[in-house]
Structure 1
Amino acid sequence: MRRALRRSAGSLLVAGMLLLLFLMPAHVAGHAAPSIAEQVDRTTAEPGDVDPPPLDLAEAQRVLLTEQVYRAPGSIARFDEDRVLDRLDADTRILLAPFTGLDRQGGHYDEVRRPLSDWASDQGLRLVLVTGLDVRLMPNGGKAAATELDGLLLRYAHHDVTGPLLLSLRHLEDGTTESDDAEPVRVPADPAQVTEIVDTLRRGEVYHAPGVDAPIRPSEDWAAVVPDLTIRVAQLPASPAADGLPDLLPELAAVFPDDLVVVVHGRWLEAAGPEQQQIDSARFYTFGLWESGFAFWGAPMGALIDQFLLRLGELRVGEPFGRPQVEPILTRELWERIAPWVFSLTALAVGGGSLLWWARSVARRRNAEASALRLLRAQALAEITRLGARLVTVDVPASDADGTARRIADAAERHATARDLLEDTTSSDVVREVLAVAADGHGLLDAADRRRGSDRG
């Protein structure tokens, strides 16, 4: 009984869910949120920005058979050679590769990382792979990520991966996971450069310092996502860590206190303006969400600024969880069609526990009743059997002057009635009646016995 009820309830629930899914798929299709890569506005990139030169895997393997470090064409990573090479042992190699590019980042594992891992294992070597600014250990693919902003600044503003490389090599030696990043150094801004940048920004242009190889171009979307702020952007190339980071942002923010000032050093982004807490939050959010874009596949900085401004706009209008916007899945017409089913399934889900509890209590009660009925039937059968045994052994008198023979005949009739009732019934009430009929038969025989005893006396 319980299994049947559970199967029935489960079947109803599954059938309802299948019907709901059948009604909805046409309205759900096409509303998936775009991937991070799909959100990049590729029109902001110069030709070649998104697709750096591919890694020549065969050439890298050939060189690394005899050399400990190989820098592939297009690689931008820098490191302190004295500190890193001092840690290298004879069985460890470092490969500095270019960014994957947007079009190749999806197949990088199958086309580069796995073949390199297999090759290193076959050669009995340990390999540290630097892809753009992303540092990983081969063959297990463990990633040496920055744990603090200082480490991120060194990597993005100076393209310096000394800390991640040292961490990887130390991990190979003793399993350590503590970062070994140096402290970044900030140096005073050059007054002449500050003046040049201010003049450019006042003209409403983006400032590009000499050496910038992928200039950021202003986008019409900037004013759309942050309409209440004037956006001023200065872009400088990555500088060696030993030269320090020119501290331009405070100087420019003092000149434009009511505007949003963005300073880009290499792949490092700083910003200042009204509601600084929101600006910092949007910047950290962009660093976290777009880590692969910054470090691995080399998204153009113009696209990353777009994402920073988009997040800042969401924070300023009070919708920090509004991206990505999606079309509503349930239209009014669809809701009107499925509402009865939704309410029915909800009622079934809410009442399912009560239904199962009720079913179990009913089953327990019926089991108890069946057990009691079996006991009553056994008692009734015993009384009928005992009555039959007495009827077989009783002496029927030749005459019925005192009514003894009549009483014995009535007792026999009670025996037959009780037996017939018991054979056909499944009711406790009828079985109790059988017991009463059998007791009446015993009473008649007892009266007959007493009558014969008084006659003999």
Structure 2
Amino acid sequence: MAERRVSAGRRRHRAEWLRWGSLAAAVAVVVVFLLSQGQDIDVSYGQSPASSDAVAEGGAGELGDVTVPSVDEMAALVRADDVVRLPGAIASWDERRVREAVGDAEVRILVAPPGLDEDERDRVRDVDDATVRVIGTEVTGGIYQASADSAVGWRAQFAVGDVTDQMVALIAQLRDRPAPEAVDQFDWRDPDEAELAAVAADLRATGVHVGAGATLDGIPEDLAASAFPDRRAWYVVLPRQPFGEPVPRYGPALAELFPDTPVVVVYGWWIEYHGPHAGDFDEVVGASFYAQLGERLSLYDYPQRNVLAGYLARVTDVRYAGLFDRPLPYRPFDPLRVALPALPWLFTACVAVYLVLSARPLLRRSGAGARTGVNARLAGLTALAIEVSGLTDVSGNPSLTRAIGKLGAAGEALARNLPDRHVRSLLDDAEAELDDTARSLGRADYRPDSYLSERLA
């Protein structure tokens, strides 16, 4: 008999530990859940290794060994001639289309070379007699600037130095007339057998062909490896092409010769990609690269190596964005991200364990005459708390937690035969907290008065 009493005492002791442990776990889950709501989530595929800090003017070899005359000297030149080209100027245009845009207006054009520093650019812009100013391939006039905004416009501008569309659009704006549609005047031709054979031989031998007049002094190998990690790309680098002459289109021909090899073709400052994943891939890379850096490329005289390095860095950025079936960087396992959706269910389970264990001794005493009403009320409020615990959101959790604590204290008071007045006071507090919880949920049927009346009906 004594052994059975000891065994029963041990079971009650274990039940008490489990009951209070489940309550502590429920409180801990609520705290973690509430704190997680204020976290800032950074969704990213990883930091591209090609990202770099901004470089001050002149730090990337973009300033050429050129200068311009004084403002007065340039003003005198512009007054003497409708079109003034300063030494080193590279911009060209279709004279017929520009004359049609000018019409009978007086338009004077000043063309300066790229690679000027800020002071020299300011001197060009201070020539008030010039209606249109072209620095490199940047076209401005008055308060306006005309820029290319498509692959067709960027290709003409950076492969040939053609600024016809920009000049026509700017002159129309200055004359308060609608701008005409842009015209693709870029003239391609297929390379002949000798040209293609010479380029293909260099690519097979070294992976690089540098045409006469190109300034490339080497491939940036680190960026090339990160841009094309699966297979080394081959490069064809040519100088800026002559304006008004057909340009040999090496890309498609080389892609047909070497179908599994990435091929990058450079014309001046215009870069094309041909090979695996071509199509949407090269359009995204080219559009993002020239949309962001086109203004700098139009003003400065960057070495071709630097332009190619910037392009390869953009290819790497696009690859790290997870597009076009490129490999993604490793993302470490985040326990909180995985566990967070399960926290409300874990909270509900802990509360249910606590309330069931708290109600067991009370249910055994439900037949006691003096405390029948108190026990029934405690049982009803406990059942209500269990039902509500699976429905509460963040705003309802604090009041529900307090109600559970009050119900636990009421159960403990009954187990210790404390005065009924004390037990009723705890139940009143629990009922008020459950009423706040029901209000926060917008559920009138879970307010204690309604719930208990339906339970007793």
Normalised to the residue count of structure 1, the TM-score between the two structures is 0.54
**Separation of aligned partners in 1, 2:52 and 2:216:** 29
Superposed displacement of residue 64, structure 1:
0.5
Q: Is the contact between residue 171 and residue 177 of structure 1 (CA under 8 Å) also seen in structure 2?
A: yes
Partner SS state of residue 145, structure 2: coil
Are positions 1:229 and 2:231 aligned together? yes
Tell me the alpha carbon deviations over residues 157-216 of structure 1, each in whole angstroms, 9 at most, x when there is no partner: 22111222222222222332344434322211222111101111112253122233x235
Contact kept, 8 Å, 2:261 with 2:275, in 1: the verdict is yes
Give the whole-Å Cα distance in 2 for the aligned partners of 1:38 and 1:262. 28
Asked if the contact 2:224/2:312 (under 8 Å) is kept, the reply is no
Equivalent residue letter for 1:290: L
Residue equivalent to 2:196: 194
| Paired AA for residue 90 in structure 2 | I
1:259 maps to which of 258, 261, 264? 261
Look up the equivalent residue of 2:315 and give its one-letter code: L
CA contact (8 A) 2:151 2:287 kept: no
Kept in 2, the 8 Å contact 1:75–1:98? The answer is yes
Amino acid aligned to 2:219: P
Query: Which structure would you say has the larger RCO, counting Cα contacts within 8 Å and 6 or more residues apart?
Result: 2
Is the counterpart of residue 51 in structure 1 residue 54 in structure 2?
Answer: no
The equivalent of 2:87 in structure 1 is: 73
Which structure 2 residues correspond to residues 173-192 of structure 1 after superposition, within 5 A? 173-192=175-194
Residue 312 of structure 2 corresponds to 309
The answer to whether residue 46 in structure 2 is matched with residue 34 in structure 1 is no
Q: How far apart are the structure 2 equivalents of 1:302 and 1:41?
A: 14
Q: Whole-Å Cα distance in 2 between the matches of residues 220 and 302 of structure 1?
A: 11
Task: Name the counterpart of 1:91.
Answer: 106
Shift of 1:71: 0.2
CA contact 1:278–1:316 (8 Å) conserved in 2: no
Distance 2:66 2:57 in 1: 23
Q: TM-score, normalised by structure 2?
A: 0.54
| Aligned 8 A contact 1:133 1:296 in 2 | yes
What secondary structure sits across from 1:222 in the alignment? helix
Which of 271, 292, 297 is 1:294 aligned to? Answer: 297
Residues in 2 aligned to 1:312 and 1:153: alpha-carbon distance in whole angstroms: 18
**Separation (CA, whole Å) in 1 of partners of 2:163 and 2:68:** 19
* Residues 80, 195 of structure 1: alpha-carbon distance in 2 compared, 3 angstrom cutoff: same
CA distance in 2, matches of 1:195, 1:57: 49
Structure 2 counterpart of 1:312, one-letter code: V
Which residue does the alignment assign to 1:218? Answer: 219
**1:86-138 per-position Cα deviation (integer Å, ceiling 9, x unaligned):** 5445632101111134xx24x5664432x22xx33xxxxx510111111111x
Correspondent of 1:127 among 127, 131, 144: 131
Structure 1 CA distance for aligned equivalents of residues 120 and 52 of structure 2: 23
Match of 1:420 in 2: none
User: Would the aligned equivalents of 2:133 and 2:140 in 1 still touch at CA under 8 Å?
Assistant: yes
**SS of the residue 1:176 aligns to:** coil
Contact kept in structure 1, 2:148 and 2:166, CA below 8 Å: yes
Shift of 1:297: 1.6
Question: What code does the residue aligned with 1:221 have?
Answer: D
Does the 8 Å contact 1:52/1:98 carry over to 2? no
Structure-2 residue corresponding to 1:172 = 174
CA distance in 1, matches of 2:188, 2:290: 20
CA distance in structure 2 between the aligned counterparts of 1:315 and 1:39, rounded to whole angstroms: 26
Structural mapping, 1:362-373, within 5 Å: none
Which amino acid letter does the alignment assign opposite residue 74 of structure 1?
Answer: G
Counterparts in 2 of 1:165 and 1:39: CA distance versus 1, 3 Å: closer
Aligned equivalents of 2:231 and 2:112: distance in 1?
A: 39
Cα distance between partner residues in 2 of 1:315 and 1:211: 31
SS at match of 2:300: coil
1:33 is displaced (CA, Å) by 7.1
> What does residue 75 of structure 2 align with?
61
Any stretches of 5+ residues in structure 2 without a counterpart?
A: 1-50, 324-393, 396-457
Cα distance in structure 2, aligned partners of 1:57 and 1:203 = 50
Identity of aligned residues (%): 26
Deviation at 1:40, TM superposition (A): 9.4
User: Would the aligned equivalents of 1:229 and 1:259 in 2 still touch at CA under 8 Å?
Assistant: yes
* Corresponding residue of 2:382: none
> Take 2:180 and 2:89, find their aligned partners in 1: how far apart are those partners?
26
Contact 1:77-1:160 at 8 Å conserved across structures: yes
The answer for unaligned runs of 5 or more in structure 1 is 1-31, 121-125, 321-349, 352-457
CA contact (8 A) 1:184 1:241 kept: no
Give distance in 2, aligned partners of 1:39 and 1:250: 37
Choose 92-101 or 222-231, whichever is displaced more: 222-231
**Length, aligned pairs only:** 271
Contact between 1:50 and 1:300, CA under 8 Å: does it hold in 2? no
Q: Give the 3 Å change call, closer, same or farther, for CA 256–41 of structure 1 in structure 2.
A: farther
1:112 to 120, 124, 130: 124
| 1-structure distance, mates of 2:208, 2:93 | 30
CA–CA distance in structure 2, aligned partners of residues 71 and 195 of structure 1? 38
CA offsets 1:390-431 (integer angstroms, 9 cap, x no match): xxxxxxxxxxxxxxxxxxxxxxxxxxxxxxxxxxxxxxxxxx
Q: CA RMSD in A?
A: 2.9
SS of equivalent to 1:313: helix
User: CA separation of 1:309/1:109 partners in 2, compared to 1, >3 Å: closer, same or farther?
Assistant: same
